[in-house]
Amino acid sequence: MDSKSIVVEFERLIELAYDKSVKGRSELVSVLGKIFDDGGYPLSEQERALVFAILENIISDVEISVRQQLSERLAERDDVPHTLVSWLANDDIKVAFPVLCRSGLLNDMDLIDVVRARTQEHQLAITLRTELSEEVSSALVHTRNEPVIVSLLNNQNARIAKATLEFLTEESRRIDSFHRPLLLRKELEPRLAIRLFMLVSVALRQYILDHFEIGPEIVNDLLRQMAIDEVSRPSAPPTGKENLVSVLEEEKELTTDLFICALEEGEVALFSGIFSRLTGLKNSLSLQILLDPVGEGLAVACRALDFGEAVFTTIFALVKRHQKGNAQGMINTLPKILKFYRAMSPAAANEVVNKWKKNVSYLEGIRELELGENCA
């Protein structure tokens, strides 16, 4: 746009400022768009002031679709008057969304005011910003709005104070959706991860063991407490899923989570069926492994499947519960079985499982591992 053209556009802009018809307002936005989108023409201070003065005077009178277009065009500019961008940030979410997500002209107080005064949609838009201070993050957390907090936790660019993370760790006792995003926060301290250990799923417990530097004594205490909790929990009544294994196998949906879920729900026959399919062992041998009070066969099979310690400990504790073992007996057994589990590699365990598939004695395979012939 050359200097002659911009003069024509400015004259038209001033004329349209006094035209309150729908057609006039739409054309006004079109003219403004030409001015804003032409990065090759530098506006003088006077010209810029004129454009924004017109906008501030007429913005509340134009229809929402027009305001939305203006918000999109102004969201990433750094020369917009603060009053105008603040007005847009507090408008209907369709208008506010671009500036709430992208405008660098909104300061912390602007954002906190929006968090406190506007809708959940406005709060969610703020959680998507590329930068968020600890103060704004704290304001978002204090909304006690679960989707907003989850979105904030998922934004790795947001800065979250230690005190806020501690508060959310405590809140996660009753709000499961906080578990995963909390554990994925790079600033989460091991002491908070330890507090989360007893609250989260088996998979996330394994994530904690794999990704946080926690001493071996604490790990053993956590696994022992987890096993106590599992064995002490009352069994749920059967839910009639006898045909589920075949259906799941046909649909290729046999997973570790379903495996554990079956045992948690008291579906021992279903669990045994899934166990057989996952390991490739005969049903009779699977039942022998599950009924073995020592648990070494279970350890071998789980190691062959390359389950982590947290997964194995959960399965071991649940199996003990269904063997009608008491918590104290399980506590006494756990250190020895964990030592046995840690001593073998998945490859060594697979060798034993493959021998079992060929009808090699169950006890013979375990004896080889105990003697260290196949241990890594």
CB burial of residue 200 (10 Å; 0-12, 13-18, 19+)? buried
| Maximum C-alpha span of the chain | 96
pLDDT for 74 beyond 50: yes
Contact 197, 222 (CB under 8 A): yes
Quote the pLDDT of residue 326.
Answer: 58
Q: Which of 57, 81, 106 is the last residue of a domain?
A: 106
What number of other Cβ atoms are within 10 A of residue 22's Cβ? 11
What amino acid is encoded at 187 in this protein?
E
In whole angstroms, what is the distance from residue 38 CA to residue 224 CA? 67
Both tokens assigned to 81? 């008057």
Quote the pLDDT of residue 285.
Answer: 81
Residue 2 falls inside a structural domain = yes
- Three-state DSSP at 344 gives coil
Which residue do the tokens 């350890």 mark? 299
- Three-state DSSP at 374 gives coil
Average per-residue pLDDT in the chain? Answer: 79
Please, how many CA atoms are within 13 Å of residue 144, restricted to the half-sphere of its CB? 3
CA-based angle 19:24:26, to the nearest 5?
140
CB burial of residue 130 (10 Å; 0-12, 13-18, 19+)? exposed
What contacts 76, CB < 8 A, 6 or more positions away?
102, 103, 104
Both tokens assigned to 92? 């209907």
Number of domains in the chain: 2
CA-based angle 250:252:258, to the nearest 5?
110
Structural element, H or E, at residue 30: helix 22-37
Please, how many CA atoms are within 13 Å of residue 151, restricted to the half-sphere of its CB? 20
In whole angstroms, what is the distance from residue 77 CA to residue 205 CA? 45
| Residue from 287, 275, 282, 274 nearest 248 by CA | 274
Residue 195 falls inside a structural domain = no
Both tokens assigned to 194? 């330890």
Residue 223 falls inside a structural domain = no
Q: 316 vs 28, which has greater pLDDT?
A: 316
Q: What Å distances lie between residue 121 and 93, 358, 359, CA to CA?
A: 7, 61, 62
DSSP letter string, 117-144 = HS-HHHHHHHHTSS-B-HHHHHHHHTTT
Contact 66, 29 (CB under 8 A): yes
What number of other Cβ atoms are within 10 A of residue 370's Cβ? 14
What amino acid is encoded at 169 in this protein?
T
Contact 203, 257 (CB under 8 A): yes
Tens digit of pLDDT for each residue in 32-69? 666 666 554 456 667 667 777 777 776 766 678 778 88
Residue 198 falls inside a structural domain = no
Across the range 199-219, mean pLDDT stands at 84
Look up residue 373 and give its DSSP letter.
S
Residue 158 backbone dihedrals phi, psi, to 5 degrees: -75, 135
Percent of the chain with pLDDT over 70: 73
Residue 329 falls inside a structural domain = yes
Across the range 20-36, mean pLDDT stands at 70
- What range defines the domain where residue 48 resides? 1-106
Residue 250 falls inside a structural domain = yes
Residue 85 falls inside a structural domain = yes
Q: Which of 79, 106, 133 is the last residue of a domain?
A: 106
Q: Which of 169-173, 251-255, 267-271, 311-315 has the lowest mean pLDDT?
A: 251-255
Q: Which of 60, 90, 106 is the last residue of a domain?
A: 106
pTM, two decimal places: 0.66
Residue 206 falls inside a structural domain = no
Distance of CA 130 to the CA centre of its chain: 18
Quote the pLDDT of residue 233.
Answer: 57
